[in-house]
Amino acid sequence: MSSKFDHDVIVIGGGPAGSSFARVAAGAGLDVLVVDKRKEIGVPVRCGEGLGSLEILKQGFVLPRACYSIEIEGAKVYAPNGKSITWRGEDTAGWVLERKVFDKWLCELAIEKGARVHTYTRAVGVVKDEKGRPQGVKVSHGGKEPYEISAPLIVSAEGMESMIARELGFKTVHSLYDVDTCYEYEMKPYNHENLIELYFGNEAAPRGYVWIFPKADKKANVGIGVGGLVQNGTKQGGIKGADPKTLLDAFVKKDEQLKDASTLLDFGGVISVGSPIDEFTRDNCMVIGTAAKQVDPIHGGGIGLAIDTGIMAAGTAIKAHERKDFSKNMLMEYETVWRRQKSPTLANRLKLRKILEKVSDDDLNHIFNTLNKEDLQKVMSSDFAPVAMKVLAGRPQLLAVLRGLMS
């Protein structure tokens, strides 16, 4: 480490993105400090905890049993008229995590590689040199007087808040249209198969859906995500925010099992469902994970992407450290690789979201009547073309929606 700086890298945020970055960078010998404003890593949980796949398991990691509540076998998806399609994977189709354990596990892996982690430590500002380049951050431990710590590379892994990323010059402000506002209960008792359940329909969840992610001991995460702006048909119908809690309460009241269940946890949150931000790197800094809006626009899932991105960005940071070059030019490698590997699938999924947003409940019912579990499997793996052809054959008027999106 250069004597001019306290650390080689300061990572803001000890979520999946920050911890994964820290593990890889510290493993290569960099002096990495992670600061997180929370008193305890992973707590409080603000997440549905569903995870479809985990790339690091292909690199020899084993997911500790305590990190997940149950293994998922597949999905059951409901149309507005109540018709459902069930898809079951051949192997494990994913997990419903225990994020307070999972996030801590990822963080402990980073510590084992030599990263240092300071909880209850909030980054409150950026320290810059005379040329305006970031050289450190101001942090406050437990709300006390802020102090400065320095590093030639600052990594924002702050999640949705991304306050420091904004100060670093990244355009992380969210348009209301590109966020889902969410509300979730952990509920018990709920008897279930090990399937995630998703409920669609403009009445139940305008521009979004209701999820039931089952957990062990007859528990379930029951949540809703709805678009920040509601559309009336294909015409944008003014700014009419849907209240996710009211909608979720209405759903729970109608559900035979849930209406008598108790709530163990109750929280709201927002998640990005638009495109990622337009740049991930600037001189001496990077943004990773949900802070860079690297989220699946269909379901708002961001855990897997955050981990993959943390690893990818750390690869570039290691090279930058070796070359003592933290310019945007050097750090751009991470962004170039990310956009090549991740953008095409996410762009396709954003298109699918925009199609789903524009179809009526009647169209949705038609789509569900047309599809079978093999089609659902194709949609899950982003192979939309054959499924779209099948749906359009039975309802050609939906072509207008598709054309509108292409123009």
- Interface with ligand FAD (CB under 6 A): 12-18, 35-38, 46-51, 122-123, 157-159, 161, 163-164, 182, 184, 223, 269, 271, 289-291, 295, 300-303, 306
Token pair for 331: 């750090």
CA angle 242, 247, 252 (to 5 degrees): 170
Q: Which is nearer to ligand FAD, 139 or 387 (CB)?
A: 139
Gap between the Cα atoms of 90 and 379, Å rounded: 16
Beta bridge partners of 52: none
Q: Which is nearer to ligand FAD, 139 or 230 (CB)?
A: 139
Contact yes or no for 71/95 (Cβ under 8 A): yes
C-alpha count within 13 angstroms, C-beta hemisphere, residue 346? 22
Alpha helices in 234-302 (DSSP H): 244-254
Q: Which is nearer to ligand FAD, 256 or 278 (CB)?
A: 278
Gap between the Cα atoms of 75 and 268, Å rounded: 24
Q: Which is nearer to ligand FAD, 98 or 158 (CB)?
A: 158
Beta bridge partners of 60: none
Q: Which is nearer to ligand FAD, 184 or 375 (CB)?
A: 184
Closest by alpha carbon to 180, among 280, 295, 292? 295
For residue 220, the surrounding DSSP H or E stretch is strand 219-227
Q: Which is nearer to ligand FAD, 293 or 366 (CB)?
A: 293
Closest separation between CB of residue 194 and ligand FAD, Å? Answer: 15
C-alpha count within 13 angstroms, C-beta hemisphere, residue 275? 11
Gap between the Cα atoms of 194 and 360, Å rounded: 30
Q: What is the edge-to-edge ordering of all strands in the sheet holding 116-118?
A: 116-118, 32-35, 9-12, 153-156, 285-287, 281-282
Q: Which is nearer to ligand FAD, 153 or 303 (CB)?
A: 303
